[in-house]
Amino acid sequence: MSASQNIGDLSSLSTLEVTQRDVCLFGITVHALTSSQALDNIDSAIKNKQSLHIGMLNAAKIVNMKRNPTLGEDVRSSNMILADGSSVVMASKILRKTLPERVTGIDLMHGILSRGNKEGYRVFCLGATPEILARTEAEIRKQYPGVVIAGTQHGYFSDSEEAAVAQKITDSDADVLFVAITSPKKEQFMARWNTAMRVPVVHGVGGSFDVLAGKVQRAPLIWQKYGMEWLYRVVQEPGRLWKRYLVTNTLFLGMLAKELFLPSKPL
């Protein structure tokens, strides 16, 4: 029997119903939650063995969802979608569908680890290079000694190896899966294997392992406060990022202008 067949035979968790208020932005249902409320939902999913697939939304993700319908479907399959980008929160205010605050992927990850330090969450770390992954694991053990590292797996695996990776995660009996893989592969993996892996909480954390491992410096708090983390990243890597942010930010502003006059309905 293949790994994928083995996983397919496993019973899935029931899905956690996120009951707090939600709003429709750009045709996407976004949950209007504070960080504390999101962490309460996560704790409930772990303790009640229910499935909570977290989707993070920023300007670039919204633009790319428009360009790539498959990515849109993968993100919408999440049952708790949060505003990771300050531009999304800004847009919600302009559209009079105000979200309470920005909930970044990396801050939510640290919040999960902080609660897990007290509750003994079992965490599986998926993604990044073997070196960065090892340093991430070491930092989690150092900063959050009460967290149990249920397993790790670097992110450089082929499509043919996906089923084996998913089986490894299933066998770890983890409470939380952090997925530090770039989009859209991250969303594809999460959507494809979420139910089969039977991990209560699945959270795509993007480049957070690079920050936790000390490879990349996060923007100072003042830059974060004014929603300028993207610009700080451009300053750090101008050759690679300036064109990406120029294009996506311009397209996002165009989508926002259209949304003012022709609001999208949830898909």
Nearest to 72 by CA among 80, 63, 59: 63
Please say whether the beta carbons of 252 and 26 come within 8 A. Answer: no
Nearest to 184 by CA among 1, 78, 61, 5: 61
| Cis bond before residue 200 (omega within 30° of 0) | no
- The fraction of the chain above a pLDDT of 70, given in percent, is 94
Provide the pLDDT for residue 12: 57
Identity (one letter) of the amino acid at 250? T
Please say whether the beta carbons of 164 and 171 come within 8 A. Answer: no
Computed from CA positions of residues 125, 127, 131, 136, in that sequence, does the dihedral angle turn out positive or negative? negative
Segment 14-67, tens digit of pLDDT:
888 886 789 999 999 999 999 999 999 999 999 999 999 999 999 999 999 999
Provide the pLDDT for residue 9: 39
Provide the pLDDT for residue 4: 40
Mean pLDDT of 74-99: 94
| Better-scored residue on pLDDT, 129 or 19 | 129
Residue 46: CB partners within 8 Å, gap ≥ 6?
119, 121, 175, 176, 200, 201
CA pair distance 223, 211, nearest whole angstrom: 16
When the pLDDT of each residue in the chain is averaged and rounded to a whole number, the result is 90
Provide the pLDDT for residue 2: 37
- The fraction of the chain above a pLDDT of 90, given in percent, is 74
CA pair distance 7, 1, nearest whole angstrom: 10
- Angstrom CA distances, 2 to 7, 13, 34, 188, stand at 9, 22, 42, 20
DSSP notation for 123-161? EEEEES-HHHHHHHHHHHHHH-TTSEEEEEE-S---GGG
Mean pLDDT of 70-82: 94
Mean pLDDT is lowest, of 125-134, 202-211, 224-233, for 224-233
Segment 179-213, tens digit of pLDDT:
999 888 999 999 999 989 999 999 999 899 999 99
